[in-house]
Amino acid sequence: MSESSITHAPADSGVPLQARDFSVKELVVIITGAGQGIGRELARQYAAAGAFPVIADLNLDKAASVVQEIEVAGGQALAVQVDVGDKASVDAMVAQVLKVHGRIDVLINNASIFAALEKCAFDQIPYQQWQKVLHVNITGTYLCVCAVAQAMRDAKFGRIINISSDAVPRGTMNYLHYVTSKSALIGMTNSLARELGPHGITVNCIRPGSVATEVERVANPTVELRQRAAALQCIPRGMLPTDLVGIMLFLATPAASFITGQTIACDGGYTHSS
């Protein structure tokens, strides 16, 4: 695929949108933390829609396994090992993607530390754990954005999607490091949208609810707790990774070129305003 095989010209005012404006076909999409969980499902769905997902994960074996799943289903993908908290590693990942594809259209900042965390009162969080969670979840996102920004500026097109959490508006107890980190991503989204908008790059944030995936959590909620939480939603059922697919695909398309600086809840209506 050549560097110039895709054009990203937005539809002119008054001109009806075409089907291609709602397509992610042939877009190069980096998804961090895509070796499992939400990232894995997003990679599979982007590939099914004709995009070229990059499975960027600390665990290269898991990333390669997702690539194999995608190829068996008839899609294409690239596995790249990356430590999002390490600048040299992130820069090397982006260089590899540019070498293979010649461009980067979409960055999804999905990698974060959460499943391995135990519930803990804020003043009992080990200092080193506090630092690690904020470094990976906030600084890791920042490093990835910095690494792809110039390629997107050069192309005058880019889609950056950050993943926050409904734990932010809920003020979820006993995860202060995680909630703080996901709060920061909302502010980061707002500011980046201002700086990158003039270059044809949109920056948005998705705030999912509690998503059931194959990843086991140290503090896994009981079935009863999940049922109680679901009962408080407008759509009273548990959330699945596929529930994120529609908004995640749309925000990557040319049709979403005028949507930026937004934090969009995708939580079944749990945190909606009355």
Q: What are phi and psi of 161, to 5 degrees?
A: -125, 115
Q: What is residue 269's DSSP assignment?
A: T
Query: Which pLDDT score, from 0 to 100, does residue 219 have?
Result: 65
Q: pLDDT tens digits for 92-120? A: 999 999 999 999 999 999 999 998 899 99
Residue 2: pLDDT band (50, 70, 90) is very low
Neighbours of 103 (CB within 10 A): 21
pLDDT at 3 over 60: no
User: What residue ranges do the domains of the chain occupy?
Assistant: 20-266
Q: pLDDT tens digits for 15-65? A: 677 878 999 999 999 999 999 999 999 999 999 999 999 999 999 999 999
Q: What angle do CA 164, 167, 171 make, to 5 degrees?
A: 130
Instruction: List Cα–Cα distances, 227 to 165, 223, 273, in angstroms.
Output: 19, 6, 21
Superfamily name and number for 20-266: NAD(P)-binding Rossmann-like Domain (3.40.50.720)
pTM of the predicted model over 0.95: no
270 flagged as catalytic:
no
Catalytic residue among 46, 127, 142, 178: 178
Average pLDDT estimate for 238-265: 95
Q: What angle do CA 88, 94, 100 make, to 5 degrees?
A: 135
Which bin fits 82, alpha (ψ -120 to 50), beta or left (φ > 0)? beta
Q: pLDDT tens digits for 193-220? A: 999 999 999 999 999 988 877 666 666 6
